[in-house]
Amino acid sequence: MTTVHEPTATAAVTATSAHLSVWPASATETRRGDLTVGGVSLAEIADRFGTPVYVLDENEVRDRCRTYRHAFPDAEVLYAAKAFLCRAMAHWIDEEGLGLDVCSTGELELAVTTGFPPERITLHGNAKSPRDLDTALRLGVGRIVIDSPSEIARLAAAVGPDGRQKVMVRVVPGISAGGHEKIRTGTDDQKFGLCIADGYAQHAIARIVDQPQLELAGLHCHLGSQITNVKPYLAAVRRMVGLMARLYQQHGLILPELDLGGGHGIAYRSGEEALDLTTLARRVRTELSDACAAAGLPVPRLIIEPGRAIVGPAGITLYRVLSVKRTGSHTYVAVDDGMSDNPRPALYGARYAPRLIGRHSTEAPARVTVVGRHCEAGDIVAADAQLPADVRSGDLLAVPVAGAYHVSMASGYNLVGRPPVAAVRDGIARLLVRRESLEDIRSRDMGL
């Protein structure tokens, strides 16, 4: 493990500076142009673990978990594992008192075999396999979110005549919200959930009520991702409570839980808007109380599922520059990975702000396009990035806000191998996930 002393006050600028606003709170800048995160030099991490490498600030993750628990003291906070999960992450989430939201057997088994309490786990998924359901029941998950009518009979049969499983129903409230059309999941006519507008949600709920093996604990909705405005959540509260009122009138049901999902937007570049968590908590609490009072219902326990907002700002990706090419009006800075370690720019047009580290440059910034090494024209790490005009081969680049949907969506394109994950805390760096080697890739190939 590497131990690095904190820079002196005259040699560092704290992360409160505007140019470090999207970096972990522990980020400090030294005179030589390097950055330290968690008390560890990013240049030293690159030297020790090689590049590309993901870096995760453990204290940033923990602090963000505590921020959620403080903002929502009466709610249950579930970390959305799809953003990023490894054994260490499951351990941190457990220690900070959050529950876990998983959507596959792989996520579920990794968490439980790490020691995460299964009763604090909720299983999601629009197309759960028989293995997913059997594993969830065998391990004793707290809730299973029903996403389609066909799951009702299958799950009841799997539970058996003497068992009982707590379930929720994923409802589509008909609300459009999110940073890109491909990550909006609250609108009608898409693959997730059951719609209120066409009556499918109400019909599924009636069927669940007739299954003694299934205990309907509440309703669930998820509007999308990268939502930076509170208003869609308030609209969701009103529609969900409206449905709960109709269920009470029709079936005498009083549901004790309401899950509003996650999708809380974060800033990827300085100056971008992020969802105000304090405002969200205050206004959702008020809206829920008022709507339930108007409907004559008790206030259900609120559940929320942040993922990106907890781990996204805690992560950094380090790259080595392989080449700089000037052609026409563009300068292309090519690095040693790309869309296989972060497909978000290609999928959603996500925008990042890479930074030169490891050396100090006095050159003025120039507009460049940082690209990856893969055989795709869309393999872009950061379009319209600002880097010193003298950026050159061998330089190190650091990309902040890389903690969510980088590792979890990484692929084996071009058989490059997925990068390792290192954690930093209190001046110490340690490996959480090793680099995928060529031997790993070869071992999966069964030959001719």
Active-site positions read 375
Nearest to 159 by CA among 100, 105, 101, 212: 212
Nearest to 38 by CA among 1, 68, 93: 1
Q: Is 91 helix (H, G, I), strand (E, B) or coil?
A: helix
Amino acid in the structure at residue 151: E
What's the token pair of residue 311?
Answer: 């781990």
**H or E element, residue 25:** none
Nearest to 26 by CA among 434, 423, 433, 432: 423
Amino acid in the structure at residue 204: A
Euclidean distance between CA atoms 15 and 268, whole angstroms:
15
Other CB atoms within a 10 A radius of the CB of residue 115 amount to 10
Nearest to 152 by CA among 95, 203, 194, 211: 211
Sheet holding 40-41, edge to edge: 28-29, 35-37, 40-41
Largest CA-CA distance found in the chain, in angstroms, rounded = 73
First and final CA of the chain: distance in angstroms?
Answer: 42
| DSSP-derived secondary structure for 196-262 | STTSHHHHHHHHHHT-TTEEEEEEE---BSSB--SHHHHHHHHHHHHHHHHHHHHH-----EEE---
